[in-house]
A and B are shown apart, each in its own frame.
Chain A
């Protein structure tokens, strides 16, 4: 009984903070828009009793989902988000892995400082940090000024309001989520394994590929999911740094909610996004389970 009580705490937590809001969103996605507060119909009127519930239930339909499928804006936005999320995950991995590797090979007394430097950006508002990239990347921004001063370029580079700026923003923002899991995998790596690999005939590079990489695989996978999943639904970065051509589902969602005030369609977009993200999460967990089973 005591054990049951203990286990029920996290489940109740999940129920209250995840499942209930999700069910509300799901319900809204099955409703129709209306000029009312809240801007959808039907609303559940329990004072009518059983009849009320029945009427409410009948009014729900999948119309919004058909709408999503029929308008190519939505699936284009999903695909575009997927593409941006995948590319920026790969970029973050390419930037993050060397950082994590360098940190794990740094002298012991340096590591807390390096760790601090990775975490430090979290101490300021995410919004301010993304905004400040505007000042760096704009046509008259710091980057262009510097490059023109150095004579590398004559005309300012157009970076802001393009997908490149979005990639830079995502890589910058989610870098710690990539670095930390890889670092924790690399930090556990026993130095003598690399010496053993060299002793058995590997060059340094080969030892890295055959020992370091496979042993940091778990960190790479975890880091990639931690970047990919939020990047997929990202709204602030494409809104601030991306141009009008940058199509991301997070932005579409926001516009449906606040510009069009079409809550039901926006909710349907959110539900589909969630379902899409469940696939990689399940794949990830299957992979972990397989790994564990193989180790048994």
Chain B
């Protein structure tokens, strides 16, 4: 671990600490329904106070994982430990785990306050204690004024906050959020994401969120697990997932990416070069040790890492020649689609930092793209 003297700001990264005790452990968990395998021999540790995102397309098994944590499903094989305890035989109502449902699942016959008090009442707590806790939760989500309304008398965003307050009221060790912001419009969703992070920090609860929205996962999570076909493809911090994807699937799933396929010509000190088209110079990117010369590999590079020039740039390692096929003006940035002589298309994104460009690049114009040799990642097929 880093030295305290050289690292004045401590970074929250328990997954790098061998001493840290995970809150949740999936140990070789498999879940099958007949022939269908929803979760395939999956192992993962999640640490206390993490905001952990399960990200993947629908049907990838992320919801099944969450429902197994809540106790609505049991693994076919393997073990799930929460706080070191095997939870296979513990029913949902006996787990220190609460869930915020995708549909919010607010009880329509109960008021906002009664909804929040529902779980507390089951614990047979004294009445004044329950009232105090409900009051506290209402202030946390800023809904004190709406305590006596029924769920159908408040807006979607307010309902979402009631659902959050209800699931947090029992102060669970672990809070599960199933696509919590799916029903909100974009602006409200962004606001709520920050609110969620804020509440997570304030309460110190471990959050596990299921989402198919990569932007949402990137915004809120401390770590993201990208899933596909019941397996976790990569677990990492949002920036690592984005900048250092370990597979083409992850690179392609998160954000926009150019995938350039070629043959590895040489490797050296964590870099690899590929030759990819006739008449084009070789491209170099970061590579892990398993990339070997002679193999087929793909260079993944994000469009915003590319610069665009109207004349051949000097002293640049990676240069691609082509002509402009398409321009998309998005306001804050412009996306250029460049076609190479061999017919491949490459995207480059340029931030519009000036109101009026000195020289406009137009359609059919000959251009050169370039990027540094740490901008792209060379990945196995």
Contact = CB atoms under 8 A, between A and B. Distances in A.
B98 A192 contact: no
Contact of B101 (A196, A203, A206, A211): A196
Contacts of B118: 197, 200, 210
Chain A: interface secondary structure?
helix
B122 A193 contact: no
A206 B109 CA distance: 16
Given A199-B93, A215-B109, A206 B122 contact: yes
Contact of B119 (A193, A201, A214): A201
A195 B122 contact: no
B32 interface: no
B108 interface: yes
Contacts of B108: 215
Contact of B103 (A192, A197, A201, A202): A192
A190 interface: yes
Contacts of A71: none
Contact of A199 (B92, B106, B123, B152): B92
Interface string A205-223: 0100011001100000000
Given A195-B92, A295-B150, A295-B152, A200 B101 contact: no
Given A190-B103, A206-B122, A199 B109 contact: no
5 contacts: A192-B103, A192-B105, A199-B98, A200-B118, A215-B108
Contacts of A210: 118
A215 B106 CA distance: 12
Contacts, number: 60
A215 B109 CA distance: 7
Interface string A263-296: 0000000000000000000000000000000011
Interface in A160-212: 190, 192-193, 195-203, 206, 210-211
B70 interface: yes
Given A195-B105, A215-B108, A200 B170 contact: yes
Given A214-B109, A295-B152, A198 B101 contact: no
A-B CB proximity, top 3 nearest: A201-B122, A200-B119, A196-B105
Nearest to A203: B93
User: Which of B118, B123, B152 is most buried by chain A, counting CB atoms within 10 A of its CB?
Assistant: B118
A295 B148 CA distance: 11
Interface in B74-117: 91-93, 97-99, 101-103, 105-109
Contact of A200 (B102, B122, B153): B122
Contacts of B122: 200-202, 206
A295 B151 CA distance: 10
B166 interface: yes
Contact of B93 (A193, A201, A214, A296): A201
A195 B108 CA distance: 14
A206 B106 CA distance: 17
B266 to A, nearest CB: 56
A198 B91 contact: yes
Given A199-B93, A200-B170, A201-B123, 19 more contacts: A192-B101, A193-B107, A195-B70, A195-B92, A195-B101, A196-B99, A196-B101, A196-B107, A197-B107, A198-B71, A198-B93, A199-B70, A199-B92, A199-B99, A200-B119, A200-B122, A200-B166, A203-B91, A296-B153
B92 A198 contact: yes
A90 B123 CA distance: 33
User: Which of A197, A201, A295 is most buried by chain B, counting CB atoms within 10 A of its CB?
Assistant: A201
Nearest to A200: B119
